[in-house]
Structure formats: structure tokens, C-alpha cells
Amino acid sequence: MTDRDSTQPPGIDSDGRADSDDRSDSADDERGQDERRPARDEPPATDTDQSVDGDDGSADRDADGDVERRTYLQAIGAAGAAGAIGAGAGLSGLGSQPVSAQADPNGSVLATFCGTFSGGPQVQQCLSCVEAACPGEEVTPVYPIVTGLTGTCFTPNSIPAGADYVTLKAGTNCYVAPVNGNTTFCLPPGAPDISNATFYSCGGDQPQPAVVDYTVTCEEIVVTTANIDTGTTLTAQVTFLDGEGNETTETFQATVQNNTATFALPGNLNPTNLVLLLDDLVLDDQPVVAEDAPCTPEPPVFDGVDVTCDAITVSTTNVPEGETLSITVSFANGVVETYNVPVDADGVAVVPLPGDVDPSHLTVVYDGETLFDMEVQATDAPCAEPPTPPTPDPRLDSIEVTCEAVRIVTADIPDGDVLTVTVSLADGTSVMEDLAIDADGVATLGLPGDVDPTHLTIVYDGETLFDMEVQATDAPCAEPTPPEPPEPPTPKPPKKEIRKKMMRHKRAYEKYKKMLEKSD
């Protein structure tokens, strides 16, 4: 394993060796008697079921609660109450001391708090605790690693061969205990639940494959390894969440090159858990989060629109720069135009408009999804300049149009002079007459009264003084004709009368037939 900054758990003196440990690298028989390690020639006792529960993981131990409670209290007294419950010092605040733990007669042992965990692969998280207990020796993980635990006691199915220590990660805290044939490892009262357990050996002769570090992004997972040959294939089982919360697991493979393996990911899914395998050996198994999460694209959001006669400005969120919006604009004159407009870095797309026609409806579509579809109106409407009405001729003072007549009041036209007045009617006919101006300057043209006037032209001395559409002030002039009532249906004769007529016809026919026979 790689060297890491660390401190030892309580009980290690200043030279990095245990007070009671007169360790010799060549004395294997003495190592077997070390209270922190099990004897190598005797297999450790284990339970048949690996478990983690709120007590010690064994129902047979219920009657010994007082013994276990005293054991907890002794462990707190030895390690310090604050350290035992995970408060106070981290890995950097403990001296170089031996790891000792109080065991009870049933084979359970209380692990000692040794600091806070380091991020990264599981075998690295509490490694410093064991490195502190094995000064000057190579510390290697012993597989399998154990994950997904809860409760405050851990009972493995079996103790891995060669294991000297076990670390228990609980919350952000690390706890360490020597194996020494113990079958159940517990935390002090008040400690968080155990989440994983890792076994280690000190001074092992065979380096073990391990994951030293990894980085996770939306696009890839880069794994740094130790003791894995170049060209070896690793497998990654990655659990993902999509944008709708659906969970899937995909398998990827990568080849180790110079202690590095890179797994390419889809890029549009959020990785949530990573399992790394070397053949069937699980090297790591834990939750992950991409550094550049979220990986799933956020749904496009329509933020607003600004409509003027000259342009439409559409604002969006979660539409990438350069992506195209399909914008359809309907105009008041009936014309419909579709514009494909790219979005800028701010999520804004601008559509230039003619400027002289009012936009009336707007539809915005992105990637097949309709973001906006509503009636609109330009803030500076009307866009089309209204037609300038002709300037009234100063010689016409007023004009009054009714169903019965057109009355024209003139100014500065001598009485007796003639106006040629033409009125078009709704039925397609027209009335035209030359009218002399009376002494009051008035000329009046009579109309039928039952047909609406629609257009008026006034000409004086060859010059047109008025030529415009008009409407009678008392329109409509024609009374609507009520529809003719339908003819009542002809009543059918009753069936009895029909039968009588048939019988009369039959008798007449029989009589006529006999006359013919006699004439023959």
C-alpha cells in the first residue's frame, strides 16, 4: 500500500513501538503470541453468519449484558470518552501507540477510535490506523472487503487468513481492533453505525492488488491501482440514475496501463455507485458522485419573450449555446413565417421581424418539444401605420348619410352651383343626380330608404371633393324578410277509408269483368 500521513492509535510510545511489544522481524513464533494478532498456526474462531446489529451480533450473548457493559466502560476509560465516541481528535491528533481492545469471554472485542477517515477507495479510508499499529512494516489489505453494514457490532462469516487487524468505518470515524481470534467486533457506546469493515495484515510477503485512488466524472472513471500488472483487465459495475430517477446498472471493462485504468461512461447519466472487480475479487464497492454532476441534462425551460414590431427575443434556460430554436410567427396579414435561430451563450435567441406588420401568434419549439404556443402582441403595436384619411375638402362643411337621403352642407360654393352626387347601394345599383346648392349652401339627394348606401362620390366643377365608403347612420336600411312558413303536410287518409275505396274498386272491377264475359 502507499504511504499516507497518519498517526497511531493510543498506546504507541514515541519510538513507534508498543510498550509491551518487543517485536522481532525474524521471530514468527513471538508474533503469534502478540496480543494484537492471532496465532498463525491456529485458525481464528468465527461465527457461521456474518452480521452487524445493534448489540454484538449473537443471541447467545444476551445473558452477559453486564459483562459487555463493563467492557464498553473499560474501553472508554482506556481510549478517552471523547475519542471513543468519535469526537475530538482526528487521525492527525493521536500519538504512536499500540492498538489494544478489551475482549469479553464470548469472543467479542471493542474497537478503538483512531481518527477520521480519508476519502477514496475503502482500503484507503482507515489505512492510517493500521499503519500506526505496524510501524516500519508494509500494510496490505486482506480480502474480501465488507460493505453495506449497519449497527454497532460486526461478526464476519470468517476471518480472512493472514489478517492481523480490522478497521470499522462508522460515519466519518475510524475504529481499529486486533483480530486475535475474536469473532465479533463492536464499537463503543454512542458511536455511529458501522458502514464497512476492512481486514489488513502487517509485513505480508505477497503484495495484494488494491485500488489506491479514483476520480469520477460524467464522462469517465479513472482508477489508480497498486500491485496490478499492466495489461490486466478490470471490470466496473456502475449504477446510474437518469433524469427521471430511474436506476440502471451497466458493466464496463478497462485495461490497466502503468497502474491506471480508465472506464468510459455514457456522459448523460449520473453515476451513484461503483463496484470494481479483478476477475471475481471485489476491490472496491461504494457510492460515488461525479465531480461535474449533474450528468443528466436539465430539461429546457422557457424563461420569457419580448415582442416588438422589429424583433422577437426569446430567453431560455438549459438550452446549450449553439442549439437551434424553431420559432414560428403568425402575422396579422395572414402570413406565417418559421425561423430557425441559434441560442447564444446566455440562452437567448433573437428573430428579426419586418417591422410594418403586427405579429399575432408565436410558437417556440426545441428538440421536438413545444416551449411556448400563445397569442402575442407587440409592445409598440400597431406596427402597420394606419392609412391617412384624405383631408376633407374645405368646401364641404358636413355630410350626413341616412337610409332616406344624403344631405351635403357646403362652404364657399355659390348658391345655384351644381354638385354631381353619386351613391352606390348594397344591392349593386346606384343613384346619381346633379344637385343645385340652395341659398343655405345645402344639397340633398333622396335615396330609396330600403337599401343600404355603401359609397359616396361628390364632384364639383370637374373636381372630386369626396370619394369614400359610407354607412347610413340608421342602418340597416333593409328590413330582413321573414322566411315563408313551410306548407303543412298533406294529411293521409285513415286506413278505414283506404280499405273502403279498395273494396269499391274491387266491386267495380268484378262487375266490369262480368260484362266483358257476357259480351263474348
pLDDT digits (tens, 9 = 90+) for 427-454: 999 999 999 999 999 999 999 999 999 9
Q: Is the pLDDT of residue 344 over 90?
A: yes
At 501, the pLDDT band (50, 70, 90 cuts) reads: low
Cβ-in-10-Å burial (0-12, 13-18, 19+) of 113 comes to: buried
Return phi, psi of residue 361, to 5°: -150, 145
- Who's near 338: CB < 8 A, 6+ residues apart? 326, 327, 328, 329
CA distance 306 to 329: 13
At 175, the pLDDT band (50, 70, 90 cuts) reads: very high
Q: Is the pLDDT of residue 390 over 80?
A: no
At 239-252, the pLDDT tens digits run 999 888 899 999 99
Q: Is the pLDDT of residue 467 over 70?
A: yes
- Per-residue pLDDT at 25: 38
Of all residues in the chain, the percent with pLDDT exceeding 90 is 55
Assign 486 to helix, strand or coil. Answer: coil
Radius of gyration of the chain (CA): 51
Instruction: Provide mean pLDDT across the span 161-186.
Output: 91
At 284, the pLDDT band (50, 70, 90 cuts) reads: very high
Instruction: Provide mean pLDDT across the span 96-100.
Output: 43
Instruction: Provide mean pLDDT across the span 365-377.
Output: 94
Instruction: Provide mean pLDDT across the span 193-203.
Output: 93
- Per-residue pLDDT at 72: 30
At 43, the pLDDT band (50, 70, 90 cuts) reads: very low
At 503, the pLDDT band (50, 70, 90 cuts) reads: low
- Per-residue pLDDT at 314: 96
- Who's near 375: CB < 8 A, 6+ residues apart? 360, 361, 362
- Per-residue pLDDT at 434: 93
Instruction: Provide mean pLDDT across the span 494-515.
Output: 65
Instruction: Find residue 372's DSSP bridge partners.
Output: 364
The residue type found at 210 is A
- Per-residue pLDDT at 298: 82
- Per-residue pLDDT at 519: 64
Q: Is the pLDDT of residue 160 over 80?
A: yes
Instruction: Provide mean pLDDT across the span 110-136.
Output: 91
Q: Is the pLDDT of residue 14 over 80?
A: no
At 191, the pLDDT band (50, 70, 90 cuts) reads: very high
At 309, the pLDDT band (50, 70, 90 cuts) reads: very high
Question: Cβ distance 328 to 341 under 8 Å?
Answer: no
- Per-residue pLDDT at 38: 33
Q: Is the pLDDT of residue 303 over 60?
A: yes
Instruction: Provide mean pLDDT across the span 28-46.
Output: 33
- Per-residue pLDDT at 41: 34
- Among all chains, which residue has been given the C-alpha cell 449497519? 150
Q: Is the pLDDT of residue 422 over 90?
A: yes
Task: Give the residue from 473, 459, 468, 469 showing the smallest Cα distance to 395.
Answer: 459
The rounded Cα 247 to chain-centroid distance in angstroms is 14
- Per-residue pLDDT at 513: 66
Q: Which of 76-80, 181-185, 509-513 has the highest mean pLDDT?
A: 181-185
Q: Starting at the edge strand that comes first in sequence, how are the strands of the sheet with 153-155 ordered?
A: 51-53, 153-155, 184-186, 108-110
CA distance 19 to 201: 20
C-beta atoms surrounding 412 within 10 Å:
9
At 472-498, the pLDDT tens digits run 998 888 776 666 677 776 665 565 666
CA distance 64 to 69: 9
- Per-residue pLDDT at 55: 42
Q: Is the pLDDT of residue 262 over 60?
A: yes
- Among all chains, which residue has been given the C-alpha cell 280499405? 499
Least confidently predicted of 170-179, 256-265, 359-368, 391-400: 391-400
Of all residues in the chain, the percent with pLDDT exceeding 70 is 71
The overall average pLDDT reported for the chain is 78
Find the angle CA(6)-CA(7)-CA(13) to the nearest 5 degrees. 145
Task: Give the residue from 330, 336, 300 showing the smallest Cα distance to 315.
Answer: 300
As given in the structure block, the three cell numbers for residue 73 are: 466502560
Q: Is the pLDDT of residue 416 over 70?
A: yes
- Per-residue pLDDT at 392: 74
- Per-residue pLDDT at 106: 58
- Per-residue pLDDT at 196: 95
Residue 392 CA neighbour count, 13 Å, CB half: 10
Task: Give the residue from 232, 282, 237 showing the smallest Cα distance to 263.
Answer: 237
Q: Is the pLDDT of residue 259 over 50?
A: yes
- Per-residue pLDDT at 18: 36
* Residue 28: DSSP 8-state: H
- Per-residue pLDDT at 520: 58
- Who's near 149: CB < 8 A, 6+ residues apart? 52, 193, 194, 195, 196, 197
- Per-residue pLDDT at 288: 93
- Among all chains, which residue has been given the C-alpha cell 400563445? 374
